[in-house]
Amino acid sequence: DGGITQSPKYLFRKEGQNVTLSCEQNLNHDAMYWYRQDPGQGLRLIYYSQIVNDFQKGDIAEGYSVSREKKESFPLTVTSAQKNPTAFYLCASGASSYNEQFFGPGTRLTVL
Amino acid sequence: GENVEQHPSTLSVQEGDSAVIKCTYSDSASNYFPWYKQELGKRPQLIIDIRSNVGEKKDQRIAVTLNKTAKHFSLHITETQPEDSAVYFCCYSGNTGKLIFGQGTTLQVKP
């Protein structure tokens, strides 16, 4: 909650541009997650990482990429290959998948 | 595959009444079942969770029950208040290192 941050809060990009969303946590959590939420919809998992230097695709990974070079950071890049990138993006972290996930405040991405 | 069905999708109750949301999951190996509340435009926040070694857990007006045999778990909110209005998500932890989220229930508490 207070220990996981996302920036920026709002992001506007032109179609065809790549954009990177930041996610940082100081909770010493091993696991980190990226979700996409469309209006009136649930959470869909994009990518997740259970440990540094390792990550797995979620349910909707196409058009996205991630890296996990540091325990504290899990940036998400929305590439031009993502056909409909306008959405609310939520990052989360947890000690493991069997523990509470703490969500960041989210980034609202609008592609013009 | 990993899946959880959540019902109802929308629920409207009068203030003071009870609300019940039900979920059915597919993975028998699951042992962690959290519930998240998301207010409009905000991040989801954990409201209660239960592990498979217990059948029921209560925290003030909120309770969760788990039936592992039937693969059902439910959220019960008593004496609802307008501030309970939000979207509620049930989840379970699958065996692939991720949480599986339900589709969400929009709860409206009418004053």
Instruction: Name the band, by pLDDT with cuts 50, 70 and 90, for residue B94.
Output: confident
In chain A, pLDDT over 70 holds for what percent of residues? 98
Quick one: pLDDT at residue A2?
Answer: 55
Peptide linkage before A105 cis (omega within 30 of 0)? no
Query: Looking up tokens 């980190």, which residue turns up?
Result: A32
Please compute Rg for chain B using Cα positions. Answer: 13
Strand segments (E) across A15-106: 19-25, 31-37, 43-51, 54-57, 64-66, 76-78, 87-94, 102-103
Kindly state the average pLDDT of the residues A84-102.
92
Question: To the nearest whole angstrom, how far is the Cα of B87 from the nearest Cα of chain A?
Answer: 9
Is a pLDDT exceeding 90 seen at residue B52?
no
Give yes or no for B93 touching A (CB within 8 A): yes
Amino acid at the residue B84: D
Report CB contact under 8 Å: A97, B94. Answer: yes
Q: CB pairs below 8 Å between A and B: how many?
A: 48
The answer, yes or no, to whether residue B15 has pLDDT greater than 50, is yes
Answer whether B101 sits within 8 Å of A43, measured CB to CB. Answer: yes
Average pLDDT, chain B: 93
- B103 vs chain A: nearest CA distance in angstroms? 5
Q: Does B35 touch chain A (CB under 8 A)?
A: no
Taking residues A67-89, report their average pLDDT: 95
The shortest C-alpha distance from A53 to chain B (Å) reads 15
Q: Residue B37: is its pLDDT beyond 50?
A: yes
Distance of alpha carbon B1 from alpha carbon B33, whole angstroms: 17
Chain A CB within 8 Å of residue B89 CB: yes
Interchain pair B43, A45: CB under 8 A: no
Q: B12, B30, B13, B15: which is closest to B73 by C-alpha?
A: B30
Write down the pLDDT at residue A74.
98
Mean pLDDT value of segment A67-88:
95
pLDDT higher than 80, residue A99: yes
Range B33-37 average pLDDT: 97
Look at residue B104 in the predicted model and tell me its pLDDT.
Answer: 96
Asked whether residue A1 carries a pLDDT value surpassing 50, the answer given is no
Bond into B34 cis (ω within 30): no
CA distance B71 to B69: 6
Strand partners, B108: B12
Q: How far is A18 from chain B (nearest CA, A)?
A: 25
pLDDT digits (tens, 9 = 90+) for A24-52: 999 999 999 999 999 888 899 999 999 99
Q: How many CB atoms within 10 Å of residue A33?
A: 26
**Closest C-alpha among B7, B2, B1 to residue B74:** B7
Residue-wise pLDDT for A51-74, tens only, equals: 999 999 999 999 999 999 999 999
Question: Tell me, what's the pLDDT at B97?
Answer: 77
CA-based nearest residue to A20, from A84, A75, A89, A83: A75
Kindly report whether the peptide bond that precedes residue B8 is cis, defined as omega within 30 degrees of 0: yes
